[in-house]
């Protein structure tokens, strides 16, 4: 089996370093030219990646944004949970916009299927939490992963077999009946018939994607692994229980695609120049005042899947340093720099104080995190327009100082800064050697 030397970064993971919505879609889109395959490894249609190309906006939930590049293959890995109707609608939407998925999109035959009762279970679960609701996207994601772990889930290979499909639906409905009163309203016949129709329509896309990926890497093809959500929403490493139900961190790329960790060469973290979070759970640097609202409006911080307003706050070094450790980030991308353009003062959280003492590591206890008080340094805002700037040298000095400060505090190199939603609104910060081998045209200033 071929294995690329460690310093070539042929296969790269892009991962969110905060609570999701960091702008991964845009960065994946930007990097896609340098890869042959883009593979999504976890989550489901709870994610929403917005990509703007030449003024045209595409919002993708399940299909990797690489689909917008005609010659690239896109994989939905085994770690993803798929709502077949949502996927069909996304494929149809792309096709009607002139983007073809035929022969370019492959769904893992081991990925799990979301059905109607998963959404019902999620609603019941959320309702029962009252004030402590997670604030999920109501897409049935968590209950589908629950069934996967409970070893009663429905994988795509089984979804395609009418007999197994029917048996699985009947067994699931039987098992859930006592716990989920709303399930009585579901007609097994209708659920089965609708599911079977979708299975037939989607069957052309189903493949053993682990084989496809590994054989492609054997042949020297390069793979970009696209994470959804972010490190702090990871089921193991995030702010549990206010998390999503999958491994959004870099480790998920291996389990979620069937490509072993030693075949992957690097991890690129994505973070906003500030912080956002959707749904419940502690958020130490949250701004509950007018400034938070201003950032929300400037950054158009409304969920691309649910439209919910995102909670906004200052950049949090404790969060991104933690993400650096958990994902072993090689480099960081800072997005949405332009959103801070009009601020005269910007704060950066350098760490947390809990009961008077500085925290040494990111706390697992949700009650402790809720009680953590951020320590801030205030820096002068650049108070001028960075929007659309494509060359790092052209950024205002104070904006460059902000980037350097973050790099120093987080303790890692920042390779790119995004100054607007369009593919071309990106400035290169560093000429990092590893990154320039991977993406020469980007690091030579040619985006």
Site residues (vs ligand IMP, CB under 6 A): 20-21, 46-48, 134-137, 139, 141-142, 228-229, 233, 242, 244-245, 278-279
SS3 139: coil
**Six-digit token string for 254:** 């291996």
Q: Are 143 and 86 in contact (CB under 8 A)?
A: no
Closest to ligand IMP by CB, 235 vs 273, is 235
Element (H, E) at 146: helix 141-149
Closest to ligand IMP by CB, 222 vs 271, is 271
**Six-digit token string for 74:** 């896109």
Rounded least distance, CB 40 to ligand IMP, Å: 12
Among 266, 273, 233, 265, smallest CA distance to 249 is for: 233
Rounded least distance, CB 433 to ligand IMP, Å: 32
Pairing of strands 331-335, 414-418: parallel
Q: Tokens 């096709």 — which residue?
A: 95
Which residues are known to be catalytic? Answer: 21, 49
- CB count within 10 Å of CB 273 equals 25
Rounded least distance, CB 3 to ligand IMP, Å: 32
Rounded least distance, CB 321 to ligand IMP, Å: 20
Closest to ligand IMP by CB, 107 vs 228, is 228
- 98 Cβ partners below 8 Å, 6+ apart? none
Closest to ligand IMP by CB, 334 vs 403, is 334
Closest to ligand IMP by CB, 280 vs 351, is 280
* DSSP class per residue in 256-305: TTT--GGG--EEEEEEESSEEE-SSS--TTB--SHHHHHHHHHTT-B-TT
Q: Which residue is nearest to ligand IMP (CB)?
A: 279
Orientation angle between helical segments 141-149 and 116-129, nearest 10 degrees: 110
- 274 Cβ partners below 8 Å, 6+ apart? 295, 299, 312, 313, 314, 315, 336, 339, 340
Rounded least distance, CB 428 to ligand IMP, Å: 26
Cα 95 to Cα 265: distance, rounded to the nearest angstrom: 33
Among 38, 20, 242, smallest CA distance to 131 is for: 242
Rounded least distance, CB 39 to ligand IMP, Å: 17
Cα 194 to Cα 175: distance, rounded to the nearest angstrom: 21
Closest to ligand IMP by CB, 242 vs 362, is 242
Closest to ligand IMP by CB, 18 vs 216, is 18
Rounded least distance, CB 444 to ligand IMP, Å: 32
Q: Are 165 and 151 in contact (CB under 8 A)?
A: no
């Amino acid at each position: 089996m071929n294995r690329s030397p460690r310093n070539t970064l042929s296969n790269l993971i892009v991962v969110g370093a905060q609570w999701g919505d960091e702008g991964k879609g845009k960065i994946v889109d930007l990097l896609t030219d340098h890869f042959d395959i883009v593979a999504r490894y976890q989550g489901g249609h709870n994610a929403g990646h917005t990509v703007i190309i030449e003024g045209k906006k595409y919002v993708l939930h399940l299909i990797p944004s690489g689909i917008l590049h005609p010659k690239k293959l896109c994989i939905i890995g085994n770690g993803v949970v798929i709502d077949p109707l949502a996927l069909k609608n996304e494929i149809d939407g792309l096709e009607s916009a002139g983007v073809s998925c035929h022969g370019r999109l492959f769904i893992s035959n081991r990925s799990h299927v979301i059905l109607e009762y998963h959404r019902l279970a999620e609603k019941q679960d959320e309702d029962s939490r009252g004030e402590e609701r997670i604030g999920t996207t109501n897409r049935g994601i968590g209950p589908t992963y629950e069934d996967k772990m409970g070893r009663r889930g429905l994988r795509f290979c089984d979804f395609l077999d009418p007999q197994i499909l029917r048996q699985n639906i009947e067994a699931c409905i039987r098992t859930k009946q006592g716990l989920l009163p709303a399930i009585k309203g579901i007609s097994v016949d209708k659920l089965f018939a609708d599911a079977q129709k979708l299975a037939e329509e989607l069957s052309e896309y189903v493949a053993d994607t682990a084989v496809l990926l590994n054989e492609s890497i054997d042949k020297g093809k390069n793979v970009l692994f696209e994470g959804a959500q972010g490190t702090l929403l990871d089921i193991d490493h995030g702010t549990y229980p206010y998390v999503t139900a999958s491994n959004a961190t870099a480790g998920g790329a291996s389990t979620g695609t069937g490509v072993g960790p030693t075949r992957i060469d690097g991890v690129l973290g994505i973070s906003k120049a500030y912080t956002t979070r959707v749904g419940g759970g502690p958020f130490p640097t949250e701004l509950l005042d007018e400034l938070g609202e201003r950032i929300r409006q400037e950054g158009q911080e409304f969920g691309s899947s649910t439209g919910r307003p995102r909670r906004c706050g200052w950049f949090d070094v404790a969060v991104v340093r933690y993400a650096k450790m958990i994902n072993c980030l090689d480099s960081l991308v800072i997005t949405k720099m332009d959103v801070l353009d009009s601020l005269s003062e910007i704060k950066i959280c350098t760490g947390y104080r809990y009961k008077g003492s500085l925290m040494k590591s990111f706390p697992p206890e949700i009650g402790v995190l809720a009680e953590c008080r951020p320590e801030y340094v205030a820096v002068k805002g650049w108070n001028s327009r960075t929007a659309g700037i494509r060359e790092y040298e052209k950024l205002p000095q104070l904006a460059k100082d902000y980037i350097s400060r973050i790099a120093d505090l987080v303790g890692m190199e920042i390779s790119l800064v995004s100054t607007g939603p369009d593919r071309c609104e990106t400035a290169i910060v560093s000429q990092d050697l590893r990154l320039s081998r991977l993406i020469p045209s980007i690091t030579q200033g040619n985006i």
